[in-house]
Amino acid sequence: MRVRILDETLSLNLADEAVLLSLTTEQYYALNPVGARLWQLLKEHQDTEKALAVMLTEYSIDEATLRRDVSALLEKMVGAGLICLEDPPGA
Protein backbone atom coordinates (compact mmCIF):
# COMPACT_ATOMS: atom_id res chain seq x y z
CA MET A 1 0.00 0.00 0.00
CA ARG A 2 1.26 3.47 -0.79
CA VAL A 3 1.89 5.94 2.01
CA ARG A 4 1.60 9.68 1.59
CA ILE A 5 3.07 11.78 4.37
CA LEU A 6 0.78 14.76 4.76
CA ASP A 7 2.21 18.21 4.07
CA GLU A 8 1.17 19.24 7.58
CA THR A 9 3.52 16.65 9.13
CA LEU A 10 7.00 17.63 10.21
CA SER A 11 9.59 15.12 11.42
CA LEU A 12 12.93 15.32 13.13
CA ASN A 13 15.38 12.52 13.86
CA LEU A 14 16.98 12.65 17.30
CA ALA A 15 19.75 10.08 17.68
CA ASP A 16 17.94 6.82 16.88
CA GLU A 17 14.45 8.12 17.64
CA ALA A 18 12.10 10.41 15.73
CA VAL A 19 9.64 13.12 16.66
CA LEU A 20 6.65 13.86 14.45
CA LEU A 21 4.59 17.04 14.64
CA SER A 22 1.16 17.56 13.17
CA LEU A 23 0.78 21.22 12.27
CA THR A 24 -2.97 20.66 12.03
CA THR A 25 -3.50 19.38 15.57
CA GLU A 26 -0.32 20.91 17.04
CA GLN A 27 0.45 17.57 18.71
CA TYR A 28 3.74 15.75 18.59
CA TYR A 29 4.49 12.05 18.62
CA ALA A 30 7.69 10.28 19.63
CA LEU A 31 8.84 7.13 17.86
CA ASN A 32 11.21 4.60 19.39
CA PRO A 33 14.15 3.34 17.30
CA VAL A 34 12.06 0.71 15.46
CA GLY A 35 9.25 3.18 14.77
CA ALA A 36 11.83 5.74 13.63
CA ARG A 37 13.28 3.19 11.20
CA LEU A 38 9.81 2.51 9.81
CA TRP A 39 9.26 6.25 9.40
CA GLN A 40 12.57 6.59 7.55
CA LEU A 41 11.65 3.73 5.20
CA LEU A 42 8.19 5.17 4.56
CA LYS A 43 9.77 8.51 3.66
CA GLU A 44 12.21 6.77 1.31
CA HIS A 45 9.86 4.33 -0.42
CA GLN A 46 6.30 5.61 0.21
CA ASP A 47 5.30 1.93 0.20
CA THR A 48 4.43 -0.32 3.14
CA GLU A 49 5.50 -3.56 1.41
CA LYS A 50 8.95 -2.20 0.59
CA ALA A 51 9.36 -0.96 4.16
CA LEU A 52 8.30 -4.34 5.54
CA ALA A 53 10.72 -6.18 3.25
CA VAL A 54 13.65 -4.08 4.46
CA MET A 55 12.66 -4.40 8.12
CA LEU A 56 12.43 -8.19 7.83
CA THR A 57 16.10 -8.24 6.84
CA GLU A 58 17.14 -5.89 9.64
CA TYR A 59 15.23 -7.24 12.64
CA SER A 60 14.87 -10.70 14.18
CA ILE A 61 11.10 -10.90 13.99
CA ASP A 62 8.63 -13.12 12.18
CA GLU A 63 6.68 -11.61 9.32
CA ALA A 64 3.24 -12.00 10.91
CA THR A 65 4.28 -10.13 14.05
CA LEU A 66 5.99 -7.38 12.07
CA ARG A 67 2.95 -6.92 9.83
CA ARG A 68 0.64 -6.73 12.85
CA ASP A 69 2.86 -4.20 14.64
CA VAL A 70 3.42 -2.04 11.55
CA SER A 71 -0.30 -2.09 10.75
CA ALA A 72 -1.13 -0.93 14.28
CA LEU A 73 1.38 1.93 14.05
CA LEU A 74 0.12 2.96 10.62
CA GLU A 75 -3.46 3.07 11.92
CA LYS A 76 -2.33 5.36 14.75
CA MET A 77 -0.49 7.60 12.27
CA VAL A 78 -3.57 7.81 10.05
CA GLY A 79 -5.76 8.57 13.07
CA ALA A 80 -3.35 11.29 14.17
CA GLY A 81 -3.48 12.90 10.72
CA LEU A 82 0.20 12.30 9.97
CA ILE A 83 -0.14 10.05 6.89
CA CYS A 84 -2.66 8.87 4.34
CA LEU A 85 -2.76 5.31 3.01
CA GLU A 86 -3.61 4.86 -0.66
CA ASP A 87 -4.12 1.83 -2.86
CA PRO A 88 -1.39 1.51 -5.48
CA PRO A 89 -2.36 2.42 -9.08
CA GLY A 90 -4.23 -0.39 -10.80
CA ALA A 91 -5.30 -2.07 -7.54
Report the relative pairing of strands 17-22 and 27-31 from DSSP bridges: antiparallel
23 part of a folded domain? yes
The number of folded domains in the chain is 1
Identity of residue 16: D
10 part of a folded domain? yes
91 part of a folded domain? no
- pLDDT at position 91: 61
Q: What pLDDT digit, counting tens, does each position of 40-84 carry?
A: 999 999 999 999 999 999 999 999 999 999 999 999 999 999 999
28 part of a folded domain? yes
46 part of a folded domain? yes
Residue (of 2, 19, 16, 14) closest to 83 by Cα position: 2
Give the residue numbers spanning the domain of 29.
2-79
33 part of a folded domain? yes
86 part of a folded domain? no
88 part of a folded domain? no
Which residues lie closer than 8 Å to 73 by C-beta, 6 or more apart? 35, 38
Mean pLDDT of the chain: 94
